[in-house]
């Protein structure tokens, strides 16, 4: 269940409360709601549109719904990357690299476990990882990465364009 909502949502709350002591609680909360909540919604929408059947062989665990993309792979890729970003803010590049590496390794491990359990095709988990990391990247860009200031990149780009083109 590590890649499921039962674990990731409480973990998101724990990360928010821990990180909120060092950063803006509102920005961290909005970022987590958008990344965590959004990836669940997007994965469900893609599942509904694609409606791919699951593998038809011995499964080692229960499952529900369509197969593509893997919800566990999507959720773990997106959420663990978001947690690593928030926890890594203000820390050394070495710590940030370790956090990112752990997030990627855990997400890949969770994705592999879904194939080993017989509930997903390999392409389901690859698609889930890509979808999760893509949604994380979109949310991170929207919030200015480590700045966690929504729309900040747009303001910086606007200032840069004004400086180049003049008044």
The helix or strand, by DSSP H or E, that contains position 116, with its residue range, turns out to be helix 93-116
Taking only the tens place, the pLDDT of each residue in 87-146 is 888 788 898 889 999 999 999 998 888 888 877 878 889 999 999 999 999 888 887 765
Looking at residue 68, its pLDDT comes to: 83
Looking at residue 167, its pLDDT comes to: 61
- pTM of structure: 0.77
Residues 103 and 130: their CA atoms lie apart, in Å, by: 14
Taking only the tens place, the pLDDT of each residue in 139-149 is 888 877 655 55
The confidence band for 59, taking pLDDT boundaries of 50, 70 and 90, is: low
Q: List all residues 6 or more positions away from 69 whose beta carbon is below 8 Å from its beta carbon.
A: 43, 46, 47, 50, 124, 125, 127, 128, 131
Looking at residue 62, its pLDDT comes to: 60
Q: List all residues 6 or more positions away from 3 whose beta carbon is below 8 Å from its beta carbon.
A: 71, 72, 73, 75, 76, 107, 110, 111, 114
Write the Ramachandran bin of 89: left for phi over 0, alpha for psi from -120 to 50, otherwise beta.
beta
């Amino acid at each position: 269940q590590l890649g499921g909502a039962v674990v990731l949502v409480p973990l998101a709350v724990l990360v928010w409360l821990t990180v909120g002591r060092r950063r803006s609680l509102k920005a961290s909360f909005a970022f987590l709601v958008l990344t965590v909540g959004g990836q669940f919604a997007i994965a469900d929408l893609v599942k509904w549109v694609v409606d791919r059947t699951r593998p038809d062989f011995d499964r080692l665990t229960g499952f529900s719904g369509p197969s593509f993309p893997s919800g566990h792979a999507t959720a773990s890729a997106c959420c663990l990357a978001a947690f690593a970003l928030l926890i890594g803010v203000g820390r050394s590049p070495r710590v940030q690299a370790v956090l990112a590496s752990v997030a990627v390794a855990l997400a890949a491990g969770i994705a592999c476990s879904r194939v080993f359990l017989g509930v997903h095709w390999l392409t389901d988990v690859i698609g889930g990882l890509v979808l999760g990391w893509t949604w994380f990247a979109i949310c991170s860009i929207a919030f200015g990465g480590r700045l966690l200031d929504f729309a900040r990149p747009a303001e910086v780009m606007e200032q840069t364009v004004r400086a180049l083109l003049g008044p």
